[in-house]
Chain A
Amino acid sequence: MSNARHREWLIAFALILPFLVIYGLIFVYPTIRMFMLSFTDARLIGEGDWVGLENYTRLPGDRRFGTAFWNTAYFVLLTVVPGTLVALAIALGINRLKGRLQAAILALFFLPYILPVSVVYLIWDWTLNFQFGIAMYLFDAVGLDRIPVFKTTTWFMPAVAFVTIWWTCGFSVLLFLAGLRAIPDEIYEAAELDSSGRWTTFARITWPLLWPVTALVLTIQLISQLKIFDQVYLFSTGGRVNDNLVLVYYIFQRAFQSDQGGRAAAIAVVLFVIVVVVSVLNFQLTRLSGRSR
């Protein structure tokens, strides 16, 4: 018997070995190294001297860190709730359609999500091009002044947020559709028998039953927007980079452009802690709300 158990252990170990090697090398080791690095004055490559908490204590007075932090928060504000509401509206619209039409319309909304960020960037850089962008003709038509959106600090974040919602909304739509399909038809039939109106049906049935999915969408959005980099980096090329910093961008700038690995690692640790705290809080919240129901 114990022989059979040992055999099972051995097999299990052999099966998880590839996973252990990969995660040990590119997840556990780099995570530990990141913490260690954040207490040194190392450059990007090579060892540095221990400086204690210095990399952290200078963050509150670091103007660029402030910009990066508040821009990230602003970006979260601009994308998470608006993006979720747009996705919900689209999902409710699609859910009414049937068969091929439904598949086709879903595909149109979902297609942007499948595209690489650089394609999204090139499409919107062209669409919003100051001289020849088709959106500018729209501006002209309604009598607005043309704006070089990605070169203007006021417009940069809202414009990137808009493009991001366009790009990633399909994902949330998909989750909402799965949630809507999980609501049994009988409940709607019962509501119809009670002759409740559209709004009442939505407020009393659809919305409460959809709440777990909504919470999921909000969390996924929140966590992924905290980690934003690609779009901000691409759209800032040729613009005012230091006004448009977000946290990951600042890590990149410190590490790869200023060659300050230690200082960059401290920013990375801060972002790491923010994301983990948000994840844990959310996990606890969903567990609590699951219990109370």
Chain B
Amino acid sequence: MTAVAERLSSPTTVRRLNVAGAIVTVLTVVAAIIWAFPIYWGIISSLKPENEVVRPYVELWPDTLTFQHYVFALFETQIGRWYLNSIATAIGVMVLTVSSSLLCGYAISQLRFPGRRPLWWLILASFMVPTQVLIINHFTLIAGMGLLNTWAGIILPQLIHPVVIIVYKQFFDQVPRDFREAAVMDNASEWQILTRVYIPMNWGVTTALCIVTFIWAWNAFLWPFLAVTRTEEMTITVGITQVNDAFGVYYARQMSAAVLAGLPVALAYLLFQRRVTQAITLSAGIKG
């Protein structure tokens, strides 16, 4: 016991620990800066004139700051149209996924009905199936419905997000039964219980799930890439990689397109940092 007390009070141990701790802290900060550097480099390159971008040395700040590439991307290419397609399809995926999952999660959590168990299995099963293997049949299905090159065609196959249902079920399970019983006593209908009690009590998780499904849909590549063949119907994530002649080998121009494509999701994350991280940890099955 005395030995422990001695060690604890010994100044050298404390100093040694602090030095090691400080080194780890500095390393972490330096690593973070290096980690994010390619993003900074991309942004900075997009603000340099084309001839400055290809100079054979590293310039951390442009000599001549220019927005000409952004003006070009916004007015001379189809990027505006792609933006519109991305916004429309991402909002479509967000609204449909979150609303259908909310209703389904509520039913599984609060109601007893035949087929509840098989339904739960179906949800867990869909959790395991990689949507990438379904691309062939999604394509024939969407083509058969005549929905290729349309917003609906881009949206539909992106609606499989069983994790949203699972998260809703968990949150509805946690609402104390008293609330439900009190509402039933007041003769509230099931719809009223859902819209006046359960949804308002879980606005936080709804916001988080909306943001994260929007980000997923905005970032989706494989399906929107397959569902669209006409350049004007592309989403921005697909468009900036497919239409090279619009940008040519102009590196700075290409980086400005990349910045424009990443901006909305990066902003959504920076503005709603806590919600985004909460939703993402939840989607991995960890209670945030």
Give me the interface of A with B, judged by CB distance under 8 Å: 8-9, 11-13, 15-16, 18-19, 22-23, 25-31, 33-34, 37, 44-45, 90, 93-94, 96-97, 101, 103, 105-112, 114-119, 121-124, 126-127, 129, 131-132, 134, 137, 166, 171, 174-175, 178-179, 192-195, 198, 213, 216, 220, 223, 226-227, 229-230, 234, 237, 248, 251-252, 255-256, 261, 264-265, 268-269, 271-272, 275-276, 279-280
Contacts and interface: CB of A to CB of B under 8 A. Distances in A.
A98 to B, nearest CB: 10
Given A105-B32, A192-B8, 12 more contacts: A16-B108, A34-B134, A37-B137, A97-B28, A114-B266, A117-B221, A117-B237, A119-B259, A134-B58, A255-B139, A261-B136, A275-B129
A20 to B, nearest CB: 8
B201 interface: no
4 shortest interchain CB distances as A-B pairs: A93-B28, A30-B137, A12-B113, A19-B104
Contacts of B21: 96
Contacts of B160: 22-23, 26-27
A256 B226 contact: yes
Contact of A178 (B32, B100, B288): B288
B261 A251 contact: no
Interface in B19-44: 20-21, 24-25, 27-29, 31-33, 35-36, 38-39, 41-42
Given A115-B265, A116-B221, A122 B136 contact: no
B196 interface: no
A160 B226 CA distance: 22
Interface of B: 4, 7-8, 17, 20-21, 24-25, 27-29, 31-33, 35-36, 38-39, 41-42, 45, 53-54, 56-58, 96, 99-101, 103-104, 106-108, 111-114, 116, 119, 122, 126-130, 132-141, 143, 156-157, 159-160, 165, 190, 215, 218-219, 221-222, 226, 236-238, 240-241, 251, 254-255, 257-259, 261-262, 265-266, 268-270, 273, 276-277, 280-281, 284-286, 288
A195 B42 contact: no
Contact of A27 (B32, B129, B280): B129
Interface of A is mostly: helix
Contacts of A271: 130, 132-133
